[in-house]
């Protein structure tokens, strides 16, 4: 039996999936005053560390959303990695080279936070904004669309409800029911020969100061087993490759046997298996992010190798790009503003997929464990987007807007924080905007000395316009808002 719910007063946005992507979108929409309903098929909040690395750009996004302090308190920089053959250490280093903060990049280092903790913090922020996740509810049908909205079918056990929404966002993971129901292709490959035994465990006999990796030089896949300490907990993330055809039971005994056999350290004992899974390397993405009023985001649109720590972060970037545009359209901005979501995020997903795949191939050697600047997502750009307006070839329209400190001590990121675009003015004579005289900020924004320029920063912290024409700025604002 189908019950009709919310059919007379359509819901603005229905989000399917309450992982980091769906929660980021819900938080960002809620702070903009958009009523959101977010549902998840899981009956309870999921456990498991899964994606545990928050890249520098993601930290900037989370600062804007008001959750950074809690995440910094919950996390830590990645610990040093020690590689051993049995009890003998053979190499120790860090995956990421530590960098000191600068005026334009305040958070240059990746932060390790177990995914369950990141989700807890985002749910708490959503609650502050008046929202909550509905557990045990799955969106199973969004095929009934018209010019005004989507009639979605929501399944709870044996019951089904029909819910009317202006927009639906599928953030329901790599096995997305909505993506499959819409018939959107998910091209790529699944590496059945590269499967991983994954779990969160409590351990005796091992300090939490290092990420411990044991290898066997005689094995084709030299990586044997690893234990990574999870900050803010007494847990380790356990990872171990599976041989072709293996289908082990997910029991404490299985994990203990694998650890002992491959580490040759019988004194290390697993006392509790808190969460477990078998992970298969999937490298796939869609060829479109939108079907009418239904949008895809996060793993529903792209799945990555875990190498490089890109999956969760790219999903957060999807949500941050979509939220301000969807909120603007709901307030009366031109509907085609939402077309730029796919235009901007599809190339990003393809590029990031390439990076994570390259790291997967390189991670089979010790040297390949090192990570470079290309993973921090600070250089991801929307250049060439219809929302990147520059009057010179050298303009940085479409790039991330750097942080900086004004002459009066104010910080740019503090001024950007919120839901509206920000206008920076370089040079004298401008009537509106925030005057910038700092040479360092000029350099960061690519504005030559003694040149008069206007720089409009989008609500998601990217440069929308660089121009010397106030009229161009007004035209852009009309393009992204309901003004005029």
CATH number of the domain bearing residue 320: 3.50.50.60
- Picking from 282, 317, 350, the residue at the C-terminal end of a domain is 282
Residue 68 inside a domain? The answer is yes
What is the C-alpha separation between 334 and 218, in angstroms, rounded? 62
What is the C-alpha separation between 291 and 288, in angstroms, rounded? 8
pLDDT value for 310: 80
What is the C-alpha separation between 192 and 357, in angstroms, rounded? 15
Element of type H or E holding 160: strand 159-170
Contact 195, 278 (CB under 8 A): yes
DSSP string, 363-412: TTSSGGG-B-GGGS-SS---TTSTT-EESSTT--TTSBPPP-B-TTS-BH
Residue 54 inside a domain? The answer is yes
Nearest to 415 by CA among 379, 476, 457: 457
Exposure of 17 by Cβ count < 10 A (0-12 exposed, 13-18 middle, 19+ buried)? buried
What is the C-alpha separation between 174 and 24, in angstroms, rounded? 17
Contact 454, 468 (CB under 8 A): yes
Select the more confidently predicted residue: 21 or 279: 21
pLDDT at residue 279 greater than cutoff 80: yes
Q: Kindly state whether residues 264 and 333 are assigned to the same domain.
A: no
CATH number of the domain bearing residue 273: 3.30.70.2450
Number of domains the chain is built from: 3
pLDDT value for 475: 96
pLDDT at residue 210 greater than cutoff 60: yes
Q: Kindly state whether residues 182 and 201 are assigned to the same domain.
A: no
Q: Kindly state whether residues 178 and 295 are assigned to the same domain.
A: yes
Residue 262 inside a domain? The answer is yes
> Which domain, by its residues, includes 331?
2-77+101-188+283-375
9 band by pLDDT with thresholds 50, 70 and 90: low
Select the more confidently predicted residue: 367 or 457: 457
Nearest to 398 by CA among 351, 329, 445: 445
Q: Kindly state whether residues 264 and 206 are assigned to the same domain.
A: yes
Q: Kindly state whether residues 209 and 308 are assigned to the same domain.
A: no
Residue 307 inside a domain? The answer is yes
Residue 440 inside a domain? The answer is yes
CATH number of the domain bearing residue 444: 3.40.30.120
Residue 380 inside a domain? The answer is no
1 band by pLDDT with thresholds 50, 70 and 90: very low
pLDDT value for 10: 81
Q: Kindly state whether residues 73 and 211 are assigned to the same domain.
A: no
Question: What pairs with residue 295 in β-bridges?
Answer: 169, 290
Of 8-12, 36-40, 80-84, 169-173, minimum mean pLDDT range: 8-12
- Picking from 282, 308, 325, the residue at the C-terminal end of a domain is 282
DSSP 3-state of 215: strand
Q: Kindly state whether residues 370 and 440 are assigned to the same domain.
A: no
What is the per-residue pLDDT across 342-359, written as a single tens digit (0 to 9) for each? 999 999 999 888 877 776
Contact 362, 375 (CB under 8 A): no
Q: Kindly state whether residues 6 and 64 are assigned to the same domain.
A: yes
Residue 83 inside a domain? The answer is no
| Dihedrals phi, psi of 227, to nearest 5 degrees | -130, 115
Q: Kindly state whether residues 270 and 306 are assigned to the same domain.
A: no
What is the C-alpha separation between 66 and 431, in angstroms, rounded? 31
73 band by pLDDT with thresholds 50, 70 and 90: very high
In eight-state DSSP terms, residue 462 is B
Q: Kindly state whether residues 250 and 339 are assigned to the same domain.
A: no
What is the per-residue pLDDT across 371-413, written as a single tens digit (0 to 9) for each? 567 778 999 999 999 999 998 888 999 999 999 999 999 999 9
Nearest to 261 by CA among 244, 236, 240: 240
What is the per-residue pLDDT across 163-193, written as a single tens digit (0 to 9) for each? 999 999 999 999 999 999 999 999 887 766 6
Residue 95 inside a domain? The answer is no
Six-digit token string for 125: 């922020």
Nearest to 31 by CA among 419, 325, 341: 419
When the pLDDT of each residue in the chain is averaged and rounded to a whole number, the result is 92
pLDDT at residue 37 greater than cutoff 70: yes
| Dihedrals phi, psi of 444, to nearest 5 degrees | -65, -30
All residues at 6 or more sequence positions from 393 whose CB lies less than 8 Å from its CB, including other chains? none
Q: Kindly state whether residues 179 and 207 are assigned to the same domain.
A: no
- Picking from 247, 282, 317, the residue at the C-terminal end of a domain is 282
pLDDT at residue 289 greater than cutoff 60: yes
Q: Kindly state whether residues 108 and 196 are assigned to the same domain.
A: no
């Amino acid at each position: 039996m189908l019950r009709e719910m919310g059919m007379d007063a359509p819901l603005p946005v229905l989000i399917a999936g309450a992982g980091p992507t769906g929660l980021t979108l819900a938080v960002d929409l809620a702070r903009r005053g958009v009523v959101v309903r977010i549902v998840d098929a899981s009956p309870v909040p999921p456990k498991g560390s899964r994606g545990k690395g928050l890249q520098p750009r993601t930290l900037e996004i989370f600062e804007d959303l008001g959750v950074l302090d809690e995440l910094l308190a919950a996390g830590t920089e990645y610990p040093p990695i020690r590689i051993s053959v049995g009890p003998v250490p053979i190499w120790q280093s860090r995956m990421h080279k530590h960098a000191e903060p600068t005026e334009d990049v305040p958070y240059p280092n990746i932060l390790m936070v177990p995914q369950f903790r990141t989700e807890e913090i985002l749910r708490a922020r959503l609650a502050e904004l008046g929202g909550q996740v509905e557990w045990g509810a799955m969106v199973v049908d969004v095929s009934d669309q018209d010019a005004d909205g989507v009639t979605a079918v929501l399944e709870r056990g044996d019951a089904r409800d029909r819910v009317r929404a202006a927009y639906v966002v599928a953030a329901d993971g790599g096995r997305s029911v909505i993506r499959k129901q819409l018939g959107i292709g998910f091209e790529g490959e699944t590496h059945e020969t590269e499967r991983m035994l994954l779990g969160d465990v409590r351990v005796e006999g091992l300090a939490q100061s290092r990420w411990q990796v044991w290898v066997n030089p005689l094995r084709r896949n030299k990586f044997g087993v690893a234990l990574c300490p999870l900050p803010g907990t007494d847990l380790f993330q356990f990872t171990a490759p599976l041989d072709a055809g293996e289908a082990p039971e997910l029991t404490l005994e299985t994990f203990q046997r694998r650890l002992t056999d491959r580490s040759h350290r019988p004194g290390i004992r697993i006392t509790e298996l808190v969460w477990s899974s078998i992970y298969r390397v999937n490298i796939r993405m869609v060829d479109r992010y939108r079907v009418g009023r239904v949008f895809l985001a996060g793993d529903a649109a792209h799945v990555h190798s875990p190498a490089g720590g890109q999956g969760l972060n790219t999903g957060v970037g999807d949500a941050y790009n979509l939220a301000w545009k969807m909120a603007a359209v709901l307030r009366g901005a031109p509907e085609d503003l939402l077309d730029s979501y796919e235009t901007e995020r599809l190339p990003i997903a393809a590029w990031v997929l390439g990076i994570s795949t390259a790291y997967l191939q390189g991670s089979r050697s010790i040297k390949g464990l090192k990570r470079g600047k290309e993973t921090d997502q600070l250089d991801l750009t929307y250049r060439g987007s219809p929302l990147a307006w520059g009057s010179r070839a050298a303009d940085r329209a479409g790039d991330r807007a750097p942080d900086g400190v004004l002459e009066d001590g104010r910080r740019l990121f503090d001024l950007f924080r919120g839901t509206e675009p920000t206008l920076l003015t370089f040079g004298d004579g401008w009537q509106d905007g925030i005057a910038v005289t700092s040479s360092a900020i000029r350099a960061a924004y690519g504005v030559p000395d003694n040149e008069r320029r206007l720089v409009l920063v989008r609500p998601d912290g990217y440069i929308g316009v660089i121009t010397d024409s106030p009229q161009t700025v007004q035209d852009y604002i009309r393009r992204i808002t309901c003004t005029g």
